């Protein structure tokens, strides 16, 4: 679980680390920062699959997958609407939700071993 926590920290921190180079690279940092959010999403979905495979907090993981599925359904169904701010607010919420899951499960498992 510690490895999943490290991967999640890397995935969430990657866009911010790229954006920190803005004074040097200007627009390139913005473009690469936005593109790295796709890497973050991919890594977090992989983390969620790994947690599901090992049976860590099953019901909460299903809620996460329902949110991911909802995002892609809404994105595909309503690509050019006035409600795109709702559609694109889901990925940051899902990233926060999965991060809370990873860190809370890691903390629970760490306390059980002591």
Residue 4 has pLDDT above 50, yes or no: yes
Candidate ranges 16-25, 27-36, 61-70; pick with highest mean pLDDT:
61-70
Helix (H, G, I), strand (E, B) or coil at 38: helix
| DSSP of 52-98 | HHTTSSHHHHHHHHHHHHHHHHHHHH-TTSTTHHHHTTHHHHHHHHH
Q: How many domains does the chain have?
A: 1
State the sign of the Cα–Cα–Cα–Cα dihedral 89, 98, 13, 68.
negative
Expressed as residue numbers, the domain containing 78 is: 2-113
Record the pTM. Answer: 0.82
């Amino acid at each position: 679980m510690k490895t999943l926590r490290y991967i999640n920290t890397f995935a969430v921190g990657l866009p911010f680390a790229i954006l920190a180079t803005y004074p040097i690279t200007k627009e390139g940092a913005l473009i690469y920062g936005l593109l790295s959010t796709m890497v973050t999403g991919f890594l977090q979905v992989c983390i969620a699959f790994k947690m599901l495979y090992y049976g860590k907090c099953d019901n909460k993981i299903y809620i996460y997958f329902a949110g991911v599925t909802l995002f892609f359904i809404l994105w595909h169904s309503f690509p050019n609407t006035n409600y795109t701010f709702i559609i694109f607010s889901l990925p940051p919420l899902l990233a926060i939700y999965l991060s809370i899951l990873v860190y809370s499960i890691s903390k629970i498992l760490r306390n059980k071993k002591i």
